[in-house]
Amino acid sequence: MAETSFDVIIIGSGPGGYVAAIRAAQLGMKTAMIERDLLGGICLNWGCIPTKALLRSSEIAHLLGHLGEYGFAAKEWSFDLKKIVERSRKVAGQLSGGVAFLMKKNKVTVFEGSGVLAGKGKVKVSGKTTAELTAKHIIIASGARARALPGLEPDGKLVWTYKEAMVPPSMPKSLLVIGSGAIGIEFASFYRNLGADVTVVEVLDRILPVEDEEISAFARKSFEKQGMTIMTGATVKSLKKDSDSVTATVEAGGKTSEIKADRAILAIGIVGNVENLGLDGTKVKVEKTHIVVDQWMATGEPDVYAIGDVIGPPWLAHKAMHEGVICIEHIAGLKTAHPLNVLNVPGCTYCTPQVASIGLTEKAAKAAGREVKIGRFPFIGNGKAIAMGEPEGMVKTVFDAKTGELLGAHMIGAEVTELIQGYAIAKTLESTEQELIETIFPHPTISETMHEAVLAAYGRALHI
Give 47-101 as a DSSP string: SHHHHHHHHHHHHHHHHHTTGGGGT---S-----HHHHHHHHHHHHHHHHHHHHH
CB 6 within 8 A of CB 30: yes
Is 414 among the domain residues?
A: yes
Q: Are residues 192 and 109 in the same domain?
A: no
Q: How far apart are CA 239 and CA 258, in angstroms?
A: 10
Q: Mark which of 247, 268, 289 sits at the end of a domain.
A: 268
Yes or no: say if 381 and 463 are a contact pair by the CB < 8 Å rule: yes
Q: Which of 76-80, 379-383, 445-449 bottoms out in mean pLDDT, i.e. has the lowest?
A: 76-80
Alpha-carbon distances of 361 from 179, 409, 453, rounded to whole Å:
21, 8, 15
d(CA 301, CA 117): 11
Closest CA to 143 of 345, 315, 20, 373: 315
Q: Specify whether 37 is located in the same domain as 101.
A: yes
Domain end (from 342, 366, 391):
342
* 164 and 136 co-located in one domain: no
Q: What are the phi and psi torsion angles at 351 (to 5°)?
A: -85, -175
What is the pTM assigned to this prediction?
0.95
CB burial class (10 A; 0-12, 13-18, 19+) of residue 58? buried
DSSP conformation letters of 163-225: HHHHS-SS--SEEEEE--SHHHHHHHHHHHHTT-EEEEEESSSSSSTTS-HHHHHHHHHHHHH
Domain that holds residue 383: 353-457
For residue 185, is it within any domain? yes
Please report, rounded to a whole number, the percentage of residues in the chain having pLDDT higher than 70.
100
**Would the pLDDT of 114 be above 80?**
yes
> Do 277 and 135 share a domain, yes or no?
yes
Is 463 a domain residue? no
249 domain-assigned: yes
Total number of domains constituting the chain: 3
* Burial of 416: CB neighbours in 10 Å, binned 0-12, 13-18, 19+: buried
What pLDDT sits at residue 446?
A: 98
Residue 251 pLDDT grade (very low, low, confident, very high; cuts 50, 70, 90): very high
294 Cβ contact partners less than 8 Å away, ≥ 6 residues apart:
none
Predicted confidence (pLDDT) at residue 103 exceeds the cutoff of 90 = yes
Contact 347, 421 (CB under 8 A): no
CATH of the domain at 378: 3.30.390.30
- Percentage of the chain lying above the pLDDT 90 cut: 95
Residue 1 has pLDDT above 70, yes or no: no
Do residues 140 and 173 both lie within one domain? no
User: For residues 258 and 236, is the Cβ–Cβ distance under 8 A?
Assistant: no
Tens of pLDDT, residues 323-332 = 999 999 999 9
Question: Does 150 have pLDDT greater than 90?
Answer: no
Task: HSE, CB side, 13 Å, CA atoms: give it for residue 138.
Answer: 27
Regarding whether 113 and 34 lie in a shared domain, the answer is yes
348 in a domain, yes or no? Answer: no
What is the mean pLDDT of the segment spanning 317-323? 97
* 409-445 residue pLDDT tens: 999 999 999 999 999 999 999 999 999 999 999 999 9
Same domain, 131 and 279: yes
Residues 319 and 362 in one domain: no
In a domain, 347, yes or no: no
**Which of 287, 317, 342 lies at the terminal end of a domain, its last residue?**
342
Same domain, 379 and 322: no
Within-domain flag for 130: yes
Half-sphere exposure for 212 (CA within 13 Å, toward CB): 28
In angstroms, rounded to a whole number, what is the distance separating the alpha carbons of residues 225 and 294? 45
Question: Where residue 149 falls among pLDDT bands split at 50, 70, 90?
Answer: confident
- Looking at the structure, do residues 284 and 328 belong to the same domain, yes or no? yes
- Residue 230: inside a domain, yes or no? yes
Q: Which residues on adjacent β-strands are paired with residue 359?
A: 408
Which CATH number do you get for residue 48?
3.50.50.60
**Whether residues 107 and 248 fall in one domain:** no
Q: Are residues 275 and 227 in the same domain?
A: no
Q: Which residues participate in catalysis according to the annotation? A: 443
Give the tens place of pLDDT for each residue, 252-270.
999 999 999 999 999 999 9
Query: What is the per-residue pLDDT for 187?
Result: 98
